[in-house]
Amino acid sequence: MRLNITYVCHYFVPEPAAPAARVHEFARAWVQAGHSVDVLTTFPNHPLGRIPARYRARAWTTESLDGIRVLRCWLYAVPNRGVGRRGLDHLSFMLTSLLFGLPRIKRTDVVIASSPTLFSALSAWLIARLERVPFVLEVRDLWPEAIVDLRLMRPDSPSVKLLRRLAAFLYARAARVVVVTEAFADRLVQQGVPRTKLSVIPNGADTRFFAPDASATTQAAARASLGLDGKFVVAYVGSHGLSHGLDVVLDAAAVQPEVTYLLVGDGADRDRLLAERNRRRLTNVVMRPSVPRNDVRDVYAAADACLVPLRDVPIFETFVPSKLFEVLAAGRPVIGAVRGEAGEILARSGGALVVEPQRGDQLAAAVDSLRRDPRLATELARRGRAFAEQHYDRDQLAVRYLDLLHEVVARC
């Protein structure tokens, strides 16, 4: 049966965020399988809060990308830092998705909301109710638990209480709740969500896009473009947020002047990290702003190893950063400074060295192991690539997701 799918998400390409890639790659695979997909989203602006000139002074646009109808709406765009103004950012899209998005949606069979944010998920539920079709809630981060654990908001604050009620409301009304980790499913069961309502569709990687190219020519060209000729390079690519614990890089770099640590991305913690790097005079820490997704492959190619870190906070034992799958697929050795499910996946992959979060000494020791033993690095890269292809190819996950959507539509 051909499905007409509406996917509501706050983040979408060309934004460099992992949620944008997830929605794009799933939607593209469904279109290629013969289905129709509308993506209802914002004007691109993340993480800097800058809307490109061609979208300014417009309320909405309709575009086509890889066969996907992309329905963009205005929002109050702000940088990815702070809580108050970010709340207005999220609320504005909730309103404009209904005002400017809903009238443009063609006949739909199911509405998926990708959360965060809970506010855009609420608008997706309203759209599904008005269209009289099932609502599927996709949970990529646990809100408000993550916000509380990062101490961005007090657990007893009125805002947190409101978010808890909103999350419970959405869980109760979803025909299915899709989570990205097994640990998320366990947490939601503890909160009263029936296990039969939960499905795990993890993040993954486009294994064709992130195919490894180990040629010396490719690596040399990538390093030259970044000014890293002759260096042993450990790269981190992604958001410089409060959840990533990137101080571990500065701590390792302080005792490893012979290693170059490359940080590529933007985020709420970048300015502080940059100032701290300069204060400590760590000339072997190179910080570059975000790059387009097509250029991420070149950064991976330039690296001798890639870092996947999270802060040592209990909630993050349930998280699995999506960049983990991209690095494995790209055929680069991984150093995971993580606990919980992410650490377990990396251990099973055979493609990583796993250290404790926020331990610069352990990170430095892992880097030294790879520097001293090139054969180990090569073997980690080979195993990790094979593991990503077998278990976390995005197109294979898209088929699983599509089967779930068929089941939901058939039952409702």
The predicted-structure confidence for 266-281, as pLDDT tens digits, reads as follows 988 999 999 999 999 9
Per-residue confidence at 148, pLDDT binned at 50, 70, 90?
A: low
Strand-pairing partners, residue 233, are: 260
Q: Give CA 227 to chain center in angstroms.
A: 28
pLDDT tens for residues 189-238?
999 999 999 999 999 999 999 988 755 667 777 788 788 888 899 999 99
Q: 107: pLDDT confidence band, cut at 50, 70 and 90?
A: very high
Mean pLDDT over the full length of the chain:
92
Place of tokens 């094979």: 386
User: Which tokens sit at 157?
Assistant: 């604050």
Looking at residue 399, what is its pLDDT? 97
Residue 154's pLDDT is what? 80
**pLDDT above 90 (res 160):** no
CATH class of 216-391: alpha beta
- pLDDT for residue 144 is more than 80: no
**pLDDT-based confidence at residue 83 (cuts at 50, 70, 90):** low
How far is Cα 172 from Cα 118, in angstroms, rounded to an integer? 14
Rounded to whole angstroms, how far apart are CA atoms 407 and 189? Answer: 21
pLDDT at 183: 92
What are the sequence ranges of the domains in the chain? 4-204+393-411, 216-391
Instruction: Please state, as a whole number, how many other Cβ atoms lie within 10 Å of the Cβ of residue 86.
Output: 18
The reply to whether domains 4-204+393-411 and 216-391 share a CATH topology is yes
Name the least confident of 177-186, 188-197, 289-298, 326-335.
Answer: 289-298
pLDDT computed for residue 261 by the predictor: 97
pLDDT score recorded for residue 84: 64
What's the pLDDT score for residue 185? 95
Q: How far apart are CA 408 and CA 3, in angstroms?
A: 11
Contact 304, 377 (CB under 8 A): yes
Kindly report the CATH number that applies to the domain delimited by 4-204+393-411: 3.40.50.2000
Averaged pLDDT, 111-123: 94
How long, in residues, is the chain?
412
Residues 6 or more apart whose CB falls under 8 angstroms from that of 270 comprise 240, 287
DSSP 140-196: SS-TTHHHHHTTSS-TTSHHHHHHHHHHHHHHHH-SEEEESSHHHHHHHHHTT--GG
Q: Whole-prediction pTM value?
A: 0.89
Q: Is residue 127 scored above 90 in pLDDT?
A: yes
Confidence of residue 43 (pLDDT cuts 50, 70, 90): very high
Q: What is the mean pLDDT of residues 245-270?
A: 94
What residues contact 196, with CB distance under 8 A and at least 6 apart? none
Q: What is the mean pLDDT of residues 355-360?
A: 96
| Residue predicted with more confidence, 146 or 345 | 345
Q: Is the pLDDT of residue 19 over 60?
A: yes
